[in-house]
Amino acid sequence: LNAKWMGAWFAVIITITYAFVFNSVQANAIVDSMSSSFGVDVTPGNGMAFKVVVGLLLVILTSLIIFGGIRRISAVTQALVPAMALLYIALGVIVIVMNITEVPAMFMHIIEGAFGIREFVSGGFAAAFMMGLRRGLFSNEAGMGSAPNAGATASISHPAKQGYVQSLGVYFDTLLVCSMTAFIVLLSNPEYGTTQGAALTQTALADQLGTWAIHFLSVAIFLFAYSSVIGNYFYGEANILFLTGSRKAMLAFRLVTLAFVMLGAVV
């Protein structure tokens, strides 16, 4: 297109979205999951000391990589995340097998909740559609325009190969991991509205497999979210390098990234 201004806007938007906004969301998810393990109330206005401690821990771990160049932490995290994801799916399969007689009713509940007459008339269909769209975008990034940042760093013989690999992320993240989460929650007959977010999944898994599952899921979420924080940072770093090669700009970007990580933890 020969439109450098368009590339610059793309770089700015990706940097703000991933390095700042999404990293604050990931930090918040870590605080929520850790609070369940430690039994700390982190609802608005509560647990500020706990939030600060977890936030500082995240800032320190992130700083070690983006300032200190300690890539081993990132490498270990990237190695553990797939293993934790597979173990999580395995636990989900166990929950399904334990409640195999309830599976047909669960699918009926899902279908009725999405396509029922009452839901359609009351706007529930549109709400479910929008929620699914938001969750899908957040879980696998399909259509957001961020994937080229990761794909461009791959060393492959043909671009199509990388495209096939990245397309698998949509199926693995959304169809497998997210669907498994839904199955675990629905098979545990949750009380909607009393528990939300990561705590809902932790409670559901604990009801099925025991309290140890709460701690396992806290570790898994920490690894998932922390690896996302690092990945999101490198998205931003690549785009900052495209916009400017200034060391001062890079330093400012790193400090702002850490500030948003801390902000996400305490808010």
Write the CB contacts of 155 (distance below 8 Å, at least 6 apart in sequence): none
pLDDT of residue 97: 95
Within-domain flag for 217:
yes
Write the CB contacts of 18 (distance below 8 Å, at least 6 apart in sequence): 146, 232, 235, 236
Number of domains making up the chain: 1
Question: Consecutive sets of 10 residues in the chain, 267 residues long: mean pLDDT of each?
Answer: 84 91 92 90 88 95 83 71 87 94 90 71 68 70 69 77 78 83 86 72 89 90 88 88 88 95 94
Within-domain flag for 126:
no
Within-domain flag for 249:
yes
Within-domain flag for 104:
no
Helix (H, G, I), strand (E, B) or coil at 212: helix
Within-domain flag for 108:
no
Within-domain flag for 201:
yes
Within-domain flag for 10:
yes
Taking the CA atoms of residue 43, residue 45, residue 46 and residue 47 in that order, the dihedral angle to the nearest 10 degrees is 100
pLDDT of residue 113: 74
Query: Per the structure block, which two tokens stand in for 59?
Result: 């800032």
Q: Is the pTM of this model over 0.85?
A: no
Within-domain flag for 147:
yes
Q: Which domain holds residue 221?
A: 4-99+141-266
